[in-house]
Structure 1
Amino acid sequence: MPVQTSIEDLGRPLHATTFVVVDLETTGGAPADAGITEIGAVKVRGGEVLGEFQTLVNPGVGIPPFVALLTGINDAMVAGAPRLAEVLPSFLEFARGAVLVAHNAPYDVSFLKAGCAKAQLAWPAPEVVDTVRLARLLVGRDEAPDRKLGTLARLFGATTTPDHRALSDARATVDVLHALLARLGGSGVQTLEDLATFTSRVSAARRAKRHLALGLPSAPGVYLFRDAAERVLYVGTSVDLRSRVRSYFTASETRPRITEMVRLAASVTPVVCTTALEAEVHELRLIAEHDPPYNRRSRRPERSPWVKLTAEAWPRLSVVREVRGDAGAGAQYLGPFSSPRAAELAVAALHEAFPLRQCTRRIPRRPAADGPAACVLAEMGRCGAPCLGVERGGQDAEGYARVVESVRAAMVADARDAVAALRARMGLLAEQERYEEAGEQRDRLDAYLRAASAMQRRAPLAACPELVAARRCTARPGWPSGGWEVVLVRHGRLAGTTVTPAGADPMPYVAALRATGEAVAAPVPPATAALAAETERVLAWLEQPGVRLVDVVGAEDAPWASPVHGAAGARHRWTSGEPSGARGPETAGPGPATLPA
């Protein structure tokens, strides 16, 4: 149903925003010298002055005569004044939480930042409004010859005449600011966000799309940009949906593709989520479902390639697009890969390490005596030539089966032989100064180890019918805190998540989550019941410090562990420079835990 909204729904109203208008007098040196001689500031909100701040500052260096003549501040006046390191904490407290305003703001802000750095104080990085920049956009040349503070003060009838003293100039800047904001009201600028887009010269067409953020909740979740035909253009996630969507209509968004997307957008659909993990997973699923044209990540992950060790008399490696239920017949899969090129590199790595046949023709169990001659690979010793048959010097079924089992082991459990063979080949090529070929072997090894380590990491979770884990909710903007964040995973897929209230017994919530969670059918091994990226997100969450396993169903048959000589350890040793024969520790998740309230 229609929702009656107000200007506040689109941002922070200017009339409710606290501004601290500041002016500095300096020695005239560089900002890095932090040569500030006076600070003056006025705090205002809704046209009302809330307070003033003024102090002289001893810069620690002499004030040049021409600067003293201009400002009226000389060495004698600042001799007994506090140093900047003593003054800055008081000023930062005065300006805390406010929008900083200055005439030629980059100049004043650069001195304040340099002063903080010199005093070893953290710069709070407040939002900044520059009245010079505003005046250039709002005041025509026919009204004023320049944008100096004195000129604008006269134009707008300021109650204070600027005289190069900090507090007087700050008071004059307040009047100029109010006059400029009054002019902005006629341009539809009513919020601080509107002001940011106006001063950043965002196009009128882009500013006009701000209404798409109207009514969006300030809550965590996922958002979908749609065009006039309701086609999903882009999917994203944020801890504050309203604030994030509004940012697309400001100058902070500079990506050309997203600018084009905003031009086509006609609506935004919010999806509020309970936890950060739920939002991340929901984003991945929506991208896979809608294939949005403006999301750069893989939009068709379900079509990712796999490497298959075929189930036939004389198995070979093949790149396929799906995992079939033929493991019982002897098939084995490795993947999924990010691209066909990565899959081909992994195949080449395994062929480099093991003399598996590479031909694609069908070979009968008993090769004919008058079959084809041996291929080049057989002559090079890279293939046992089972196609020749034992009578003609080819490899017998038992010998070829041992090669196949070595390949299978390299895919699922033991990467040592593959890594040793490829590293030896790289070393030989490097000794011969054939560096490009050595680089190709490196890329092959990397493609194989990446895919194998990821699959071996996901496989135990894919085989697990149900896993319940929890962690304390930590203070994080936009997300709940105080209780427990509980996650239900079935066969590697996020089946549900909830947050328990602070102080409540979490176990009834765990039971309710298990009863209402998504029913997930067992996948075809080694695939998970979710996209590989989703299972990786779930694993990353489970491996965080502080996560406790509440229950693991089927742990006896499918323990959550990684193979001792698996690809993950091999890849770590290879990338870190450890000896290739180093033994990696077996890893497993922690045991089930009881959660306190």
Structure 2
Amino acid sequence: MVPSVVDTENTAGTPGTSPANGRRKAVQPSLLDRGEPLSEITFVVVDLETTGVAADSAQITEIGAIKVRGGEILGEFATLVNPGEPIDARITMLTGISDDMVASAPRIAEVLPAFLEFAAGTVLVAHNAPFDVGFLKAAADRCGYAWPKPRVVDTVVLARRLVDRDEVPNKRLGTLARYFRATVSPNHRALADARATVDVLHALFERLGGHGVHTYEELAEFGRQVPPELRAKRKLAERVPDSPGVYIFRDADDQPLYVGTSINMASRVRSYFTAGETRRQMREMVRRTFRIETVECAHGLEAEVRELRMIAAHKPPFNRRSKHPEGAVWLKLTSEPYPRLSVVHRLSEKDSHWLGPFSSRGSAEATAQAIVEAVPLRQCTPRLSLRTLSPACALAELGKCPAPCRHEISADAYGELVTTVAETMTGDPDGVVRPLLDRIGALADMERFEDAAVVRERLAAFLRAAIRTQRLAGLTRIGELTAARRAADRGWDIAVVRHGRLVSAAHSAPGVSPMPSIEAALATAETVVGTLPAAYAAETEKILNWLEHPDTRLVHTSDGWSSPARGAARHRPLLAKAEETPALLGKVGDRRNRR
């Protein structure tokens, strides 16, 4: 006995293709969803009969399946299956399938390949799908076949959402088939039950239209449990464009609740109104939302930058990151006869040697400790004179400070220490790195591992700061830079940057010269005054990531874009070891000691 397969679908091309040329038909998706229309999806409605209810122990005795698309039946698949074990009398009474009926039927290992081929590339449908899909997956595992992980629709779940209790007493297949006047009555035989499920599916699909469900993506979401108040507010996303930009959720008082960004705002905003959004705070934010404002952008980089600026400006309560960039601090060398390290909230034009910005004072102070442990700058705060002596501090008395307050070190010698520190900030950081590695190695040799760990953490803080500072400085010192990157539509995304700030953005359509768009972007670019970083570090870092992409091309730069040849970036592997496997630093220090 072989499976009975009747497939009326034209096989000159793949499902959903034109038999004449094998090419997929052009489909104009809806402006709102850009998803797969339900009318153009091929479904395989399947039903199984089995020897029991547990997929890991019971066996399949019958498979029935119907292939449908757009309300039209394309084919049927039906076969008995020899389970390889006796069928319980109670199962025979329920289904009518006996041992004699399946004695000459093929085993599941022979049937399954044919069924998988019949259902390939389709969406599986079943009434109580976990049962049927669970048995098919278990059979595939036992037979050594890879389960294709198809998309699945459960008509029980849809019925719970679409059919009220006052219409039907329960959501059993027989009850629904009678209510929807199915052409076939289910009788616990696989093919008949599959035919009845097809009629129920089509009746449920008719109701889906009234709920605004027209695509598979909407269908999958509709079947999930979404709080009614969230689903009711989904209409707020109807007019959101499917373009790059920034979206702002606002409350009834028009105050910003949350600011976000996406290269496809429509898709991203809709996700907040689905079951996939499980974050408690985000659901509360949606409940409080009265309207959604959008700002379309030329490309993704402009959207990311505008998001950062809006979050910094409005400080929405439901945004956790980037709300207080003005709270960043810097570590600088002071400008005085005996310079020292100082943590400050603002830099001035006179400050030429600094590290940062740091997100917290603690990380800045840890970096300062790393530097003074390697290079003994004074740590006291009074302003010292080249001529007048000052009282010595405790560090000087302990021999941990060269005591410029007592003029125990000449101005020239102290100046050499300052030069070393300045060089570690702007160029080669080895003036700090090597002494700290040596210190870690010495502490490890003495088995003072906790002390070595403290030095390691300070070294890591210094390296992070130096790498970041030098990377940012390379861009912020450039007066004007213009770059372009190939876009997904084969046009060009254009960015104009001045002193690390995005001052203009544009998009050039494919097939035309981007130069007119570049010239227009330059003509309308924001003016930046001064040479200090003109933007928060987070913005400049996003610009750097965009510029460093392989597809980005530099069009023009007013100054050379460079990084020091022996700069901090060459120590990235060392930093990675410090952060991932701290013990390796001790070994590195030991190797340096032996040189």
Q: Structure 2 length normalisation: TM-score? A: 0.81
Q: What is the alpha-carbon distance in structure 2 between the residues aligned to residue 131 and residue 320 of structure 1? A: 64
Any residues of structure 2 matched to 1:410-425 within 5 Å, and which? 410-425=424-439
* 1:183 CA displacement: 6.5
- In structure 2, relative to structure 1, the CA distance for the partners of 1:53 and 1:422 (3 Å cut) is farther
Matched, 1:62 2:84: yes
Q: What's the CA shift for 1:92? A: 2.4
Q: SS state of the match for residue 76, structure 1?
A: coil
Question: Is residue 340 of structure 1 aligned with residue 358 of structure 2?
Answer: no
Structure 1 match to 2:525: 517
1:516 and 1:38, CA in 2 relative to 1: closer, same or farther beyond 3 A? same
Superposition deviation, residue 264 in structure 1? 1.3
TM-superposed deviation, 1:286: 1.6
Between 1:537-546 and 1:21-30, the stretch displaced more is 21-30
Partner in structure 2 of residue 76 of structure 1: 104
Rounded Cα–Cα distance in structure 2 between residues aligned with 1:122 and 1:133? 22
In structure 1, how many angstroms separate the alpha carbons of the residues matched to 2:590 and 2:510? 49
Structure 1 residue 467: Cα displacement: 2.0
Deviation, structure 1 residue 554 = 1.9
SS state of the match for residue 295, structure 2? strand
Q: How does 1:170-249 map to 2 (within 5 A)?
A: 170-180=194-204, 190=213, 199-249=223-273
After TM superposition, the structure 1 = structure 2 runs for residues 377-456 of structure 1, keeping only pairs within 5 Å, are 377-389=395-407, 394-456=408-470
Give the direction of change, closer, same or farther, for the CA distance of 1:207–1:338 in structure 2 (3 Å limit). Answer: same
CA distance, structure 2, for counterparts of residue 335 and residue 266 of structure 1: 40
Aligned equivalents of 1:461 and 1:581: distance in 2? 37
How far apart are 1:406 and its partner, in Å? 1.1
Partner of 2:74: 51
Task: Give the secondary-structure state (helix, strand or coil) at the position aligned to 1:358.
Answer: coil
**Whole-angstrom distance in 2 between the partners of 1:37 and 1:464:** 73
Q: 2:283 aligns with which of 259, 262, 266?
A: 259
- The answer on whether the counterparts of 1:32 and 1:111 sit within 8 Å (CA) in structure 2 is no
Q: Deviations over 1:519-565 (max 9, x none)?
A: 333432xxx2222111111111121223222222222xxxx222232
Paired amino acid for 1:357: R
Q: State the alpha-carbon separation in 2 of the partners of residues 78 and 520 from structure 1.
A: 78
2:512 to 485, 504, 509: 504
How many angstroms does 1:350 deviate by? 1.1
Question: Would the alpha carbon gap of residues 386 and 79 (structure 1) be closer, same or farther in structure 2, given more than 3 Å must change?
Answer: closer
Q: Judging changes above 3 Å, is the alpha-carbon distance between structure 1 residues 36 and 8 closer, same or farther for their aligned structure 2 residues?
A: farther
Quote the offset at 1:387 in angstroms.
Answer: 0.7
1:91 aligns with 2:114: no
Cα distance in 1, alignment partners of residues 566 and 445 from structure 2: 28
Report the residue type matching 2:173 in the other structure: L
| Aligned alpha-carbon RMSD (Å) | 3.6
* Percent pairwise identity: 45
The answer for unaligned runs of 5 or more in structure 2 is 1-29, 578-583
Change (3 A) 1:341 1:64: farther
Displacement after TM superposition at 1:231 (Å): 1.2
- The aligned counterpart of 1:22 is 45
Which amino acid is the alignment partner of residue 38 of structure 1?
A: I
Please report how far the alpha carbon of residue 497 of structure 1 lies from its aligned counterpart in structure 2 after TM superposition.
2.9
Distance 1:405 1:149, change over 3 A: same
Residues 345-402 of structure 1 show CA distances to partners (whole Å, capped at 9, x for unaligned) of 111111221111111122222232xx42x3332233321011112xxxx222111111
Q: Distance in 2 between matches of 1:132 and 1:301?
A: 51
Contact 2:108 2:139 in 1 (8 A): no
The aligned residue for residue 589 of structure 1 is none
Q: Which moved more, 1:305-314 or 1:488-497?
A: 488-497
| Aligned residue among 539, 549, 556 for 1:551 | 556
- Structure 1 residues 542 and 8: CA distance shift in structure 2, 3 A: closer
Residues 457-496 of structure 1 aligned to structure 2 (within 5 Å)? 457-474=471-488, 481-496=489-504
Q: Deviations over 1:235-263 (max 9, x none)?
A: 11123222222221221111111111112
What is the Cα deviation at residue 293 of structure 1? 1.4
Q: Tell me the equivalent position of 2:132.
A: 108
Cα distance change on mapping 1:111 and 1:415 into 2, 3 Å:
farther
The equivalent residue for 2:384 is: 363
Which whole-Å deviations, capped at 9, do the CAs of 1:1-58 have from their partners, x for residues lacking one?
xxxxxx985897998574725214276674799979635134254xx33533425497
- Cα distance in 1, alignment partners of residues 181 and 428 from structure 2: 82
Which deviates further from its counterpart, 347-356 or 101-110?
101-110
Give TM-score, length-normalised by structure 1: 0.80
TM-superposition CA deviations, 1:304-333 (whole Å, max 9, x none) = 111111111111111111111113xxx522
Residue 520 of structure 1 aligns with an amino acid whose one-letter code is V
Q: Structure 1: how far apart are the matches of 2:86 and 2:266?
A: 51
Residue by residue over 1:207-240, the C-alpha shift from the partner in whole angstroms, topping out at 9 and shown as x without a partner, is 2211211222222322111111111111111232
Aligned-partner residue type, residue 412 of structure 2: E
Residue of structure 2 equivalent to 1:529: 534
1:567 equivalent in structure 2: 568
Distance 2:447 2:104 in 1: 74
Q: Distance in 1 between matches of 2:96 and 2:283?
A: 47
Aligned to 1:590: none
Task: Single out whichever of 282-291 and 197-206 deviates more from structure 2.
Answer: 197-206
What CA distance in whole angstroms lies between the structure 2 residues aligned with 1:85 and 1:493? Answer: 59
* Residue-pair matches, total: 544
Aligned with 1:539 (options 521, 540, 544): 544
- The question of whether the paired residues in 2 share the 8 Å contact of 1:58 and 1:82 is answered with no
Q: 1:176 to 1:311 in 2, by over 3 A?
A: same
CA distance in 2, matches of 1:205, 1:294: 19
AA partner of residue 541 (structure 2) = E
Distance of 1:240 and 1:419 partners within structure 2: 45
**Structure 1 position 87, deviation (Å):** 4.1
Q: Distance in 1 between matches of 2:168 and 2:233?
A: 33
Q: 1:82 to 1:506 in 2, by over 3 A?
A: farther
Task: Write out per-residue CA displacement over residues 85-121 of structure 1, whole angstroms, 9 at most, x where no aligned residue.
Answer: 454244223x2xx5x4321123334456677885457
For the residues of structure 1 that align with 2:508 and 2:58, how far apart are their CA atoms? 53
Measure the CA separation in 1 of the matches of 2:361 and 2:58.
57
User: 1:115-147, CA deviations, whole angstroms, 9 ceiling, x for partnerless residues?
Assistant: 7885457545x3x43222344456677876654
**Equivalent residues of 2:330, 2:347 under 8 A apart:** yes
Name 1:587's counterpart in structure 2: none
2:544 & 2:563 partners in 1: Cα distance?
13
